[in-house]
């Protein structure tokens, strides 16, 4: 029996607050999910949501799926209405998907209070709709909504919903923890009983108690062969079981090949692609695909990782397309300095004098308010300083004047072969200084004009370190491909920003070509 990795990002996931996708967005996400290798992509609710109706219409011509099957989602027929007369059931057929997922109430309270019908009629609605769709040549999955809540209040009725759906021809009955409040021990007990029905079971978990992934994996252990998930755990309230966490755990930990090894090695890239399409910022600490998933900061950890990464990493990051990162802070020892230097392409041994000097400077500078983990380029520049690499310019003088909301700035530099002069005009001091600095460097470094200032963020330090309150500034510059972030600290916010900007431009000029270390 094949295992179903069923994605509902385009339907359940879009119920997340702030997540609004166009039809074009949905088509792009579907392509990314298919590239990753999910078994089924639930596209939405045709007939109920006009955008979803349009999605299925366009998908017939624009969506060429290599592996996944597209699924239309909808409800059973309405109470006291013949199934062939229900327009939403007709819309499911009109979507022309080979698979349809129906949602049906499995909690008697919801039947009585939400549907305002009888338990007998609800069972008839399930039976009629499943039979109608299967007779029309559709494969049918049934989502037993609120199954676990229903099991608690009326076990017999919840189990009867499962049996009726299967008897009518549903290929899979998916047990839904719709409110997300079921804990693993209880879910496991319920699955054990439900499995005795002999019906093929699936699982759909929400994360309101923080157990969606754990419950999904436990359900697989109990016999479920169909799991419903969303990319990044998108979904209403606290979200759904996370596609990437579940897929990696099944493939790497339980050895269930839900996706190929090649697909798994591209998982981090697919996760970022979907985050870019949806404009929903991914969680940095997300398991497997998060930027921080394999990041090390504490000195004890980095010392061990330098010897053997598996001492503090449960898998090889490359297995999921991610990579190990080392953060530099006042917690860093010489091992962390060595690892970070190697990440940046510099071969230095942890026993070298360079590493010792860098480690001491990092601790001293962080004590003054610098934060190297937020500005990795500052660490690289510090390392280059200790390697004896001369900076490309030195500041002679700079000034600025503010008049009528505009800032005039001028700078004078010492550069190789003479002096550089530049002037700038902007609405903020740092914008004017950026223009002046690049103008002064342009004659000797013409490619510097390709770079631009992206952001300048400032934080007020509280002065609790035995010095007056100061400002930490982080400046980021880019040429459209590469981004460089540096940090500056000073009692004056403009000066702190200006110091960070000078460091950013210095590093850009120094690292255009590899530097021997």
Which of the listed residues 350, 367, 384 is the one where a domain comes to its end? 367
Q: Is the pLDDT of residue 60 over 50?
A: yes
pLDDT per residue over 471-483, tens digit each? 999 999 998 888 8
Tell me, yes or no, whether 323 lies in a domain: yes
The rounded percent of the chain whose pLDDT value lies above 70 is 92
Whether residue 332 is found in the same domain as residue 442? no
pLDDT top residue among 51 and 330: 51
Averaged confidence pLDDT in the chain: 90
- Based on the domain organization, do 412 and 345 belong to the same domain? no
**Rounded-to-integer distance, Cα 185 and Cα 232, Å:** 25
pLDDT of residue 220: 97
Strands (E), 206-284: 226-229
Q: Are 369 and 469 in contact (CB under 8 A)?
A: no
Question: Does 256 map to a domain?
Answer: yes
pLDDT at 347 (0 to 100): 78
Is residue 168 within 8 A of residue 196, CB to CB? The reply is: no
| SS3 labels along 398-453 | EEEEEECCEEEEEEEEEECCEEEEEEEEECCHHHHHHHHHHHHHCCCCHHHHHCEE
Helix (H) or strand (E) holding 140: strand 139-145
**How far apart, in whole angstroms, are the C-alpha atoms of residue 79 and residue 122?**
7
Is the residue at 220 inside a domain?
yes
Same domain, 261 and 306: no
User: How many alpha carbons lie under 13 Å from residue 183 in its C-beta half-sphere?
Assistant: 2
Confidence (pLDDT) at 453: 93
**Rounded to an integer, what distance in angstroms lies between the CA atom of residue 357 and that of residue 366?**
14
350 three-class SS: coil
66 and 206 inside one domain? yes
pLDDT at residue 433 above 80?
A: yes
CB contact at 8 A, 27 and 278: no
If asked whether residues 12 and 58 sit together in one domain, one would say yes
Q: Are 52 and 102 in contact (CB under 8 A)?
A: no
102 and 39 share a domain?
yes
* Domain range for 114: 4-278
State the pLDDT at residue 306.
53
Residue 287 lies in a domain: no
Is 453 inside a domain boundary?
yes
Q: Any idea which of 120-134, 414-428, 466-480 has the lowest mean pLDDT?
A: 466-480
Helix (H, G, I), strand (E, B) or coil at 180: coil
Q: Give yes or no for a contact between 228 and 5, defined as CB atoms under 8 angstroms apart.
A: no
Domain CATH code at residue 453: 3.30.160.270
CA distance 176 to 208: 13
pLDDT beyond 70 at 463 = no
Lowest model confidence (mean pLDDT) among 31-45, 359-373, 428-442: 359-373
Does the residue 405 lie in any domain? yes
158, 221: one domain = yes
Is there a single domain that holds both residue 267 and residue 300? no
| Structural domains of the chain, count | 3
Mean pLDDT, range 419-446, rounded to an integer: 92
Query: Which of these three, 332, 367, 402, is where a domain ends?
Result: 367
The mean-pLDDT minimum among 105-114, 217-226, 307-316, 418-427 falls in 307-316
Q: Are residues 130 and 254 in the same domain?
A: yes
Q: Give dist(CA 507, CA 477) in Å, integer.
A: 11
For the stretch 192-239, pLDDT in tens is 999 989 999 999 999 999 999 999 999 999 999 999 999 999 999 999
Are 363 and 493 members of one domain? Answer: no
Q: Supply the CATH number for residue 73's domain.
A: 3.20.20.70
| CA distance readout (Å), 143 to 26, 73, 105 | 22, 10, 8
Domain end call among 278, 308, 339 = 278
CA 462, CA 323: separation in Å to the nearest integer?
35
Task: Summarize pLDDT for 169-187 with one digit per residue, the tens.
Answer: 999 999 999 999 999 999 9
| Mean pLDDT confidence for 157-164 | 97
**Can you give the pTM of this predicted structure?**
0.77
Q: State how beta strands 406-415 and 418-426 pair.
A: antiparallel
Which pLDDT band holds residue 304 (cuts at 50, 70, 90)? low
Quick check: is 379 in a domain? Answer: no
- Per-residue pLDDT reduced to its tens digit, 336-370: 777 777 878 887 775 678 888 888 888 888 888 88
Looking at the fold, whether 30 and 131 belong to one and the same domain comes out as yes
Q: Is 386 within the bounds of a domain? A: no
188 and 337 both lie in a single domain: no
Q: For the chain, what is the radius of gyration of the CA atoms?
A: 29
DSSP 3: P
């Amino acid at each position: 029996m094949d295992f179903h990795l069923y994605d509902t990002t385009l339907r359940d996931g879009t119920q997340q607050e702030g997540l609004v996708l166009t039809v074009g967005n949905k088509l792009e996400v579907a392509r990314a999910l298919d590239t990753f290798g999910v078994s089924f992509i639930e596209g939405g609710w045709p007939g109920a949501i006009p955008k979803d109706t349009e999605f299925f219409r366009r998908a017939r011509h624009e969506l060429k799926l290599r592996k996944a099957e597209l699924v239309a989602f909808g409800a059973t027929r309405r109470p006291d209405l013949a199934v062939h007369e229900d327009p939403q059931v007709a819309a499911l057929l009109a979507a022309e998907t080979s698979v349809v997922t129906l949602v049906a109430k499995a909690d008697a309270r919801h039947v009585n209070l939400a549907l305002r019908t009888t338990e007998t009629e609800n069972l008839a609605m399930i039976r009629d709709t499943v039979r109608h769709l299967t007779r029309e040549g559709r494969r049918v999955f049934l989502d037993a909504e609120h199954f676990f809540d229903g099991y608690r209040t009326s076990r017999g009725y919840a189990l009867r919903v499962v049996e009726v759906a299967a008897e009518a021809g549903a290929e899979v009955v998916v047990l839904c923890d719709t409110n997300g409040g079921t804990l693993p021990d209880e879910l496991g007990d319920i699955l054990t009983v439900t499995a005795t029905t002999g019906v093929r079971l699936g699982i759909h978990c929400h994360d309101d108690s923080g157990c969606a992934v754990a419950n999904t994996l436990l359900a697989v252990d109990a016999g479920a062969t169909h799991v419903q998930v969303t990319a990044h755990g998108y979904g209403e309230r606290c979200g759904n079981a996370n596609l990437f966490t579940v897929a990696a755990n099944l493939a790497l930990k339980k050895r269930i090949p839900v996706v190929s090894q090649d697909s798994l090695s591209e998982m981090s890239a697919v996760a970022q692609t979907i985050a870019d399409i949806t404009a929903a910022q991914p969680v940095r600490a997300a398991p497997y695909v998060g930027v921080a998933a394999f990041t090390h900061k504490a000195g004890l950890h980095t010392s061990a990782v330098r010897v053997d990464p598996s001492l503090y990493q449960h898998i090889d990051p490359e297995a999921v397309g991610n990579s190990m990162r080392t953060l530099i802070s006042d917690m860093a020892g010489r091992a962390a300095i060595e690892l970070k230097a190697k990440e940046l392409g510099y071969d230095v041994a942890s026993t070298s004098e360079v590493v010792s000097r860098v480690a001491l400077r990092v601790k001293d500078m962080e004590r003054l308010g610098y934060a190297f983990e937020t500005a990795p380029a500052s660490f690289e520049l510090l390392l280059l300083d200790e390697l004896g690499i001369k900076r490309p310019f030195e500041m002679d003088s700079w000034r600025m004047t503010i008049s009528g909301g505009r800032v005039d700035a001028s700078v004078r530099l010492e550069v190789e072969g003479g002096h550089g002069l530049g002037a700038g005009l902007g609405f903020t001091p740092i914008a004017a200084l950026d223009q002046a600095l690049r103008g002064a460097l342009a004659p000797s470094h013409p490619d510097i004009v390709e770079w631009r200032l992206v952001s300048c963020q400032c934080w007020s330090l509280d002065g609790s370190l035995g010095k007056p309150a100061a400002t930490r500034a982080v400046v980021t510059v880019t040429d459209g491909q590469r981004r460089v972030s540096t940090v500056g600290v000073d009692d004056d916010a403009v000066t702190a920003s200006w110091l960070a900007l000078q460091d950013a431009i210095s590093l850009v000029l120094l690292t255009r070509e590899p530097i021997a270390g």
